[in-house]
Structures are given as structure tokens and as C-alpha cells.
Amino acid sequence: MHTVTLGELCFVPMMEKEAIQKRVAELGKELTARYGDKKPLFVSVLSGAFVFAADLIREFDGVCEIAFVKLSSYAGISSTGNVKTILGLEGDLAGRDIIVVEDIVDSGRTLFMFLNMLKQKNPGTICTVSLLVKPDAIEMPVSVDYTGFEIENKFVVGYGLDYNGVGRNLPGIYVLKEE
Ligand code: IMP
Ligand code: MG
């Protein structure tokens, strides 16, 4: 892995794609043990979680469905504190087992707001999976049931995560270089 420049910012390697794949496979196994015979509905939070969700559902050994929602709270490298729904959930969720798939939990606002929306649709069960969690950044009372990796409170890109729209295609994860 090499240093990557996106716009005016420089990012250094943090996690190899092999390490990510290994962890995603473990998460897939844990979810299979719990939901393998329940036809869960994976709900992926766009845009950042699309890469993780695509890998995660292929590590799930059972019948499942996937849906997408689009929420937005970020501009540049910091959370705006203002979460917008750009694409909502359609269809009947009553009684369904929902697995919310996030790329990263930072302040926790996006997940908090989305879980509140979701609960109003009376699903049977809800669990949350996030590839990355920044424990030192969390400001809202959200629980992440399955965490890929806990990371420091630093800005990261790659594996679906972006900086102003770019960097999502990087197979590994990179962290903003400190001056
Ligand atoms: P939160 O609402 O503050 O928890 O932020 C959640 C959303 O902000 C995530 O789903 C990401 O899309 C984005 N985000 C948070 N931290 C980062 C980061 O380090 N890099 C890229 N996007 C991030
Ligand atoms: Mg996200």
C-alpha cells in the first residue's frame, strides 16, 4: 500500500484489504449463526457502506434480502450534525429481522436517527453492524452489535468511505496524514 493523495489531502495506509476480508468473513459467520434460517433483511446505509455490504452478504450463508437507504451528515472531513434522508425504506418491515449495515459510526447521529425511523416500522428484531467504529467520537446512545474494527478518532477513506466523493474504490483503508 502507498500514500494516496485525494484533492489537497494526503492519506497513509491503515488496513490492508486482506485484513478487512478476514474480518468481514468472521462477521458473516457470526451473522449466519444467528440469522442463517431467518431470511433477514440487510439494510445498507448508502453511500459508504455499499462495498462492505456487498462483501458481507456474500459471507452470509443463508437466504437473505438487501435494501438500501441513503442518509447524509458529512461535508468534507467533519460531521455536520444534521442528518438528511435522501432515499428512504419502502415496503413492509413488520416482523422482519433487520440487519443495519454501516461503514463507520462516528458521532453516531446517522445510526441513531435511522434506528428511530426503523423502529416506527415495527420490525421483529434490529441489529447493527459497522465495519468501523470510532469509540472516542460517539456522542449518541447507539449500540453497535457487530463491529469490524475500532479505530482512533481520525478521518479515514477507502473500502467505500470517501473524502468529498472520492477514494471509495481503494481496496484498503487509509488515514489522513498528520502534518
Ligand atoms: P455519524 O453520523 O457522525 O456517526 O457519521 C456517520 C457517517 O459519516 C458515516 O456513515 C460515514 O458515511 C461518514 N463518516 C464518518 N466518519 C468518516 C470518516 O472517517 N471517513 C469517511 N466518512 C466518514
Ligand atoms: Mg455511512
Evaluate the omega torsion of the peptide bond into residue 47 and state whether it is cis, within 30 degrees of 0: yes
Sequence-distant (6+) residues with CB within 8 A of 138 are 105, 106, 107, 108
Alpha helices in 36-79 (DSSP H): 50-58
CA dist., res. 166 & res. 146, Å (int): 27
What proportion of the chain, given as a percentage, has pLDDT over 90?
Answer: 77
Q: What is the pLDDT of residues 18-27, one digit of tens each?
A: 999 999 999 9
Catalytic residue among 55, 97, 103, 106: 106
| pLDDT of amino acid 120 | 87
Does ligand 1 have an atom closer than 6 angstroms to the CB of 109?
A: yes
For the full predicted model, state whether its pTM sits above 0.85: yes
Nearest protein Cα to ligand 1, atom 8: 74
Predicted confidence band at 178 (pLDDT cuts at 50, 70, 90)?
confident
Q: Is 106 a catalytic residue?
A: yes
Sequence-distant (6+) residues with CB within 8 A of 45 are 68, 69, 70, 71, 100, 101, 102, 103, 110, 111, 114
Answer with the residue of higher pLDDT: 86 or 140: 140
Ligand 1 center–CA 37 separation, angstroms: 32
Q: Is a pLDDT exceeding 80 seen at residue 131?
A: yes
